[in-house]
Amino acid sequence: MTKNRFQKPTQKPGSSLGSLLSRSLQLSGAALPAEPGESGQQMMPLSTLMPNSRQPRRFFDPVSLQQLAESLKVQGVLQPLMVRPLDAGHYEIVYGERRWRAAQLAGLTEVPVLVRELSVAEAETISAVENLQREDLNRYDEVTYKLRLVAQLFEITPIEAVQLLKQLRAQPDSQPERITQIEHLFAQLGREQWRSFVTNGLPALRLPELIASAVQNGSLDYSKAVLLARAPQQHHKTLLRRVLDKNLTHAELREVLAKLEPVPGPGAAPLATIKRQLSARRLNALPADRRQRAEALLSELAELLND
């Protein structure tokens, strides 16, 4: 069973992720999820369940999945999945997709579920909270889930949530009530204050797709990903392969980046080429029509630069 990465030996009442989940459900008016063994849990065929296409977490480590599948063959699925009804007798998985995938590998035909009538927004909130409890969650997905909770808190889009967080970070006295709400949210999530999240977390969303994918599948450490992203884009693929193949340390990666040739800015390469080729002798050696055209272009360029 995956551990709760935020759980502490002693917690004040109302400070756990479980209380956040319960509070979000109560505020939304949805029924609270039952504990395992309570009424409401039922067995459901795997074929009727569908993964959540909106879930940011798309990578599931195949080795870990196989290990879980071997365990399920012996013990079965002990913790129920939460699902919400769709059309035509199908149900969308709110949380528990990893167990669903492992159950398929184990050859099971059904799993225990909790069926809840939830809106898309409610389901995404619950999914985000549940996934944030996972120790194996990578930094990219963690940032995405936390941003989703901020967006849900203020009923705005994730893009608007990014803008809001940056604004509040730059102007802390502008909206004290919202800052209090955000501080309360991050206090329940633990591990990271919201200001640190803005500074150190949000940059994860700007990672190039190639580097972000490596972070998501667990092959690249987030801190190394940030370093890689600073390199010119044309070097990303080669550098990523080198980091993964040779398991470069942070210090070694910095040394490699420091030795990269600077990339000319826009227009620098053509300008350098023209400067090398341009001379009176080269112009005079051109055929008459091409020399006339070149002189006209040079005259036009001079006028543009003098404007």
Extract the tokens encoding 136: 């194996």
The single residue listed with the structure tokens 């309360």 is 184
Sign of CA dihedral 11, 135, 107, 47: positive
Q: Which of 97, 122, 124, 142 is catalytic?
A: 97
The single residue listed with the structure tokens 């959540």 is 52
Q: How far is CA 15 from CA 18, 95, 149, 152, in A?
A: 8, 21, 16, 19
Rounded distance between C-alpha atoms, residue 130 and residue 119, angstroms: 16
> What's the burial of 27, exposed, middle or buried (CB within 10 Å: 0-12/13-18/19+)?
exposed
- In 3-state terms, what secondary structure has residue 70? helix
Instruction: Give phi and psi for 9, each to the nearest 5.
Output: -55, -40
Contact 111, 95 (CB under 8 A): no
Q: At CA 127, angle to CA 83 and CA 104, rounded to 5?
A: 55
Has 38 been annotated as catalytic? no
* Active site residue ranges: 97
